[in-house]
Amino acid sequence: MLLLFLVVNTSSPAVAEVVRVGIHDKPPLSLVDDQGGVQGFVVDLLDLMAVEEGWDLEYVPCSWDECNNLLSLGEIDMLTPISSSEAKQRRLDYNRESLYVNWGQIVMAGKDVIKSPLDLANKTVVALSSDPHFADLKELAARFDIRVRFLEVGDYESVLAWVDHGPVDAGLVPRTFDLAGFKQYPLIKSSVIFNPSEIRIALSPLKGQIPNAKLIQRLDYHLTRMKGDRSSAFYQAQERWFRDKDKTEIPEWLRWVLLLLLLLLLLLAGGVMVLRRQVRLRTGEIREVNERFAAFMKHLPGIAYMKSAAGQFLFVNPAWERTNHLNEAAVLGRSAAEIWPDRDLSTWAQDERMALESGRVVESTEVHPWGERPSQWQMIRFPIVGQTGETEMVGGIGLDVTAQKETARELKHLHHQLQLLLESAGDGICGLNGLGRCTFANSAALEMLGYTREELTGAKFHDLVQHTRADETPYPEDESPLYGAYHQGRQAHVEDGVFWHGEGYRLAVEYSAYPIANGGDMPGAVVIFRPARSN
């Protein structure tokens, strides 16, 4: 019987590793049906990797906010799709090889009248409130002072319905959104795109740094291998989910009819009418370009100018006029030496000549001693090529960086003073973020704990220093007073604590932990420790 038990026990198959994956509805990257079933491009890729790794995937359908909450609580192991910028902003671990590159795109009804973000001025745009590209579009409009009325809805079909029925002018959808699946809304995608973002897989911070690193290595290995083979399942899934399903072949007879109509139109219109029409169109395009250029230059926060190859001013923007206390009429057609004969402008002339002769952009930081106090400017000078292909003009754009430079100097000085203060302290001092990772440590802390600054910074403080009690039993992180400080904002003082040296022996220490309030859920903390008084 004992032999039979051993044979049965050793021959039983290994239990597959269960991996819980949070999936939110973002077609065609991921789709969730009414019964909770999931499919999509990222689901196909994860299924392929799970077969090779022996994972037992459990997909957890959830909304975007629910998925993020489950990930932070450790109730799911992975979250996808998520952009690299969102994962970085939330300080999550994520894989390095992208699954897909997505971006925001404007949709509208009828003719393509929106060709740039400036065309959104005085228009109403509807968007999904949770769309990550929505915030970027609002920031873009605010940055260039484009007055746009925004309307928020709960799903992408509502976006299409609002645009199609007319109450709004345009809508916002991601690049991956398939208009062919909603033929009841005859909309088109405009040429306006923005906010490119790489789609990644985020991991739960509660799994630990080492397990996440191993999982990331396996994910990136499979993605790199599949993307390197054009015949792999990666590109087959891409063709399945992202091919243009709305392409229609124009019948041959219709092409001949259209050609005949075009020829008749040309004969009836005549050469003179065609020429006049082309002139009007060209004039309108030039006027539109000039208006956009003028609007852009009016709201540009820095100075801008253009000069001829001989050095005469051809254009200055309003910011240039305010900065130099001169209006455009007083400088056009004149050189800088004629306008300011008593100033040393050799640096300006040298950079402009270099841009003209080399045909490249020339950047420099200049100190302008004129005015009430000296100011520092970040200048960019560049050649402007004419219709003949020759460099005919030079342009310049400049930003006043005086405040930024002064702030940088002050911050550097404060950082130096803080570093001196930390290094002069006899006690060990470490800073922990809301996840318990070490953000800084002074020399006394490194010496007492036996780690280098590179080894300690960025690592989990508990995993290196407080993983075991004095009786050598495991010490759960959430039972430590340090956890209460950096995760829950509770101050703590312990006189008989135990830390572990980098060489493996324990240290009897007295330590205090003070939470750092930053307005978030996990504040972080400062830990101050010294050898216990009994030592």
pLDDT over 70, % of the chain: 93
Lowest-confidence region among 4-18, 50-64, 253-267, 458-472: 4-18
* Paired residues of 30 in beta bridges: 26
Residues 313 and 288 in one domain: no
* 517 is a domain residue: yes
Q: pLDDT at residue 74 above 70?
A: yes
Mean pLDDT of all residues in the chain? 84
Residues 291 and 304 in one domain: no
User: What confidence score (pLDDT) does residue 464 get?
Assistant: 94
Residue type, 200: R
Residues 368 and 431 in one domain: no
Residues 327 and 360 in one domain: yes
* 525 is a domain residue: yes
- The DSSP H or E segment spanning 113 is none
Q: pLDDT at residue 519 above 80?
A: no
Look at residues 373, 404, 435 and tell me which one is the last residue of a structural domain. Answer: 404
For residue 474, give Cα distances in angstroms to 207, 338, 352, 486, 499. 17, 80, 68, 20, 13
Residues 453 and 526 in one domain: yes
pLDDT in tens, 370-381: 666 778 888 889
* Paired residues of 18 in beta bridges: 56
User: What confidence score (pLDDT) does residue 424 get?
Assistant: 78
Residues 280 and 307 in one domain: no
* 472 is a domain residue: yes
- C-alpha torsion angle, residues 257, 263, 267, 273 (rounded to 10): 110
Residues 277 and 308 in one domain: no
Residues 342 and 361 in one domain: yes
User: What confidence score (pLDDT) does residue 10 get?
Assistant: 44
Residues 462 and 394 in one domain: no
Residue 365's domain is classified under what CATH number?
Answer: 3.30.450.20
pLDDT in tens, 191-229: 777 778 788 999 998 888 898 899 999 999 999 999 888
pLDDT in tens, 450-487: 999 999 999 999 999 999 998 989 999 999 999 999 98
For 399, the domain range is 300-404
Q: How far apart are CA 532 and CA 510, in angstroms?
A: 5
User: What confidence score (pLDDT) does residue 20 get?
Assistant: 93
Give the confidence band of 2 by pLDDT, cuts at 50, 70, 90.
Answer: very low
Number of folded domains that form the chain: 3
* 520 is a domain residue: yes
For the four alpha carbons of 451, 455, 457 and 459, in that order, the dihedral sign comes to negative
* 8 is a domain residue: no
Q: pLDDT at residue 107 above 90?
A: no
Look at residues 375, 404, 433 and tell me which one is the last residue of a structural domain. Answer: 404
User: Kindly report the CA angle at 48 between 46 and 50, in degrees rounded to 5?
Assistant: 65
Q: How far apart are CA 153 and CA 143, in angstroms?
A: 24
Residues 292 and 318 in one domain: no
Residues 390 and 430 in one domain: no
Other residues' Cβ atoms within 10 Å of the Cβ of residue 149: 12
* 499 is a domain residue: yes
Residue type, 165: H
* 68 is a domain residue: no
* 497 is a domain residue: yes
Q: pLDDT at residue 320 above 60?
A: yes
pLDDT in tens, 142-194: 888 888 899 898 888 888 888 888 778 889 888 777 777 788 888 888 877 77
Residues 305 and 373 in one domain: yes
Assigned token pair, 346: 């050799």
Mean pLDDT of 479-496: 91
